[in-house]
Amino acid sequence: MPSPRPPRRPDRIAVRGLTAHAHHGVHSVERERGQTFRVDAVLELDTAAAAAGDDLAETVDYARLARRLHAVLTGEPVDLLETLAQRLADVCLADPRVDAAEITVHKPEADLGVPVDDVTVAIRRERT
């Protein structure tokens, strides 16, 4: 009996280091002054049709995706990075070709009262 085939790993498209000045945070100073945020988005989808036909219409246009993510990042402020990450994941999953999205939001200028290089929240959401 042949051994079972391992599950195929999904194709991935990543946009990393999307950066913007935004006004998210719980504290009023964060809302007033704003600070730098960075986003990494990794999408899981099947890119075989796009590759076979060399056709952008068959895959996620990552330039368009980056603009949409940037609009959310610089848009309506939220208190929590968790909320921001969910909104960004929702943008990714709005494309029916995307099976899952992993979002990492970086807040490198977070004031924690002690020195830190970065604060991140990472979520993974799948199409239900």
pLDDT digits (tens, 9 = 90+) for 32-84: 999 999 999 999 999 999 999 999 999 999 999 999 999 999 999 999 999 99
Domain edges within the chain: 11-126
pLDDT at residue number 113:
92
8 band by pLDDT with thresholds 50, 70 and 90: confident
Burial class (CB in 10 A: 0-12, 13-18, 19+), 97: middle
* Whole-number pLDDT of residue 86: 98
d(CA 86, CA 124): 9
CB distance 81 to 89 below 8 Å: no
Active site residue 107: yes
Single out the catalytic residue among 85, 89, 101, 107: 107
Chain-centroid distance of CA 91 in Å reads 9
Mean pLDDT of 117-122: 97
Compute the mean pLDDT over every residue in the chain, rounded to the nearest whole number.
Answer: 95
Tell how far CA 19 is from the center of its chain.
12
Asked if CATH classification 3.30.1130.10 holds for the domain at 11-126, the reply, yes or no, is: yes
